[in-house]
Amino acid sequence: MKKCVVIYNPNSGKLSNRGDIKKIYRLFENYGYETEIIYTEYRGHAKEITKKLKDVDLLLCAGGDGTLNEVISGNIERKEPILLGHLPLGSVNDVAHMYGMSNNTEKNIVMLLNGVEKNIDVCLINNNPFVYVACIGAFVDISYSTPRKLKEKYGRFAYILHGISQLKQKLKFFNVKYTVDGKTYEKRFSFIFITNSNRIGGVDNIYDDVKLDDNKFEVLMCNIKNKWDIFKALYYLKRKELDEIKGFTYLKTDNIKLEFDEIPPSWCIDGDELTHNTKTFEIRINKDNNMVLPTKNISKLFENKDVDE
């Protein structure tokens, strides 16, 4: 019998009902898996667990986008990476929705176990992996600064409530020298988003050409001058091409180097804080992770659309 390990972050969602957990064990058994559920106890624990696992055929991350980031980070550091899958339990679950998953855990397990194995691009910022977004600018800390009690009570609406309370933040501007494909430019930006996703912060289809196996990521740098321009930018994102929006610089590449004129604040990567003490950041692609994914969105998300691999 094959071995499946489920790394479960109890702070991201509820799998505590004994009856539901028994159903999950039976589901895996029906597909020929002996299953072990390991609970995380602190931030970074999922990464530690992933690095130490032995003799595992499938590793599922049961949690939010941040927990998935930890599992993928640990997998990259293994000599022999494990086949991964993702069971979304968080508040927003941008990555899982992009993959075509639902809010029903049992249904998601069935979709994964009937899914297809794909090699996925994972971005690295100064060798720190992120699955779908790294961003910097005002308000990007909302995803990790929103109080947990608020998230437990209101779900994804908690981010909106906390965001309203943070409107007093001032926009900060960064003088950035950036090098792409051997060419160097210098501009002033207030927001920088580096992504490998068509969904960010619960907003779908920001980009219409995202592929998870094309060795590319998307870079959006914005010179938004005031808070009102943020709302205008969100409006235009749904109605115009990115290169038509004034103050936006859009790139699609496999490499970029960003040099700030002073040490910038923390980055937000996959919803969590990335602290640092540097002015220079290099972003590139890692190809070490294979994931089992539902077949639902394969044709949209991959250049290689074969689902019979």
Mind listing the pLDDT tens digit for each residue in 19-51? 677 888 899 999 999 999 999 999 999 999 999
**CB atoms < 10 A from the CB of 191, how many?**
23
Inform me whether the pLDDT recorded for 154 exceeds 70.
Answer: no
- Sign of dihedral through CA atoms 157, 110, 75, 205? negative
Structural domain contains residue 292: no
The domain tally of the chain equals: 2
Mean pLDDT of 156-178: 69
Structural domain contains residue 254: yes
Inform me whether the pLDDT recorded for 168 exceeds 70.
Answer: no
> What is residue 19's predicted lDDT score, i.e. its pLDDT?
64
Structural domain contains residue 106: yes
Domain match, 63 and 140 both: no
Q: How are strands ordered across the β-sheet holding 191-195?
A: 248-253, 217-222, 191-195, 133-136, 267-269, 272-274
104: CATH: 3.40.50.10330
Give whole-number Cα distances, 49 to 65, 78, 88, 206, in Å. 17, 11, 18, 34
Domain match, 162 and 42 both: no
Domain match, 245 and 165 both: yes
Better-predicted residue by pLDDT, 138 or 279: 279
Q: Which amino acid is at 7?
A: I
Q: How many CA atoms lie within 13 A of 31 on its CB side?
A: 17
Lowest mean pLDDT among 60-74, 143-157, 236-250: 143-157
Query: Residues for the chain: how many in total?
Result: 309
Structural domain contains residue 297: no
Domain match, 176 and 270 both: yes
Domain match, 7 and 80 both: yes
> What is residue 309's predicted lDDT score, i.e. its pLDDT?
43
Domain match, 133 and 271 both: yes
- Mean pLDDT of the chain, nearest integer: 85
pLDDT band at 171 (very low <50, low <70, confident <90, very high): confident
Domain match, 134 and 252 both: yes
Domain match, 263 and 134 both: yes
Mind listing the pLDDT tens digit for each residue in 191-225? 999 999 988 776 777 777 899 999 999 999 988 77
pTM of the model: 0.86
What distance separates the 2 farthest-apart alpha carbons in the chain?
59
Q: How many CA atoms lie within 13 A of 103 on its CB side?
A: 6
Domain match, 266 and 147 both: yes
Per the structure, the complete domain to which residue 200 belongs is given by 128-286
Mean pLDDT of 136-151: 69
Mind listing the pLDDT tens digit for each residue in 118-139? 999 999 999 999 999 999 987 7
> What is residue 262's predicted lDDT score, i.e. its pLDDT?
96
> What is residue 219's predicted lDDT score, i.e. its pLDDT?
94
Mind listing the pLDDT tens digit for each residue in 60-103? 999 988 899 999 999 999 999 999 999 998 777 889 989 999 88
Structural domain contains residue 307: no
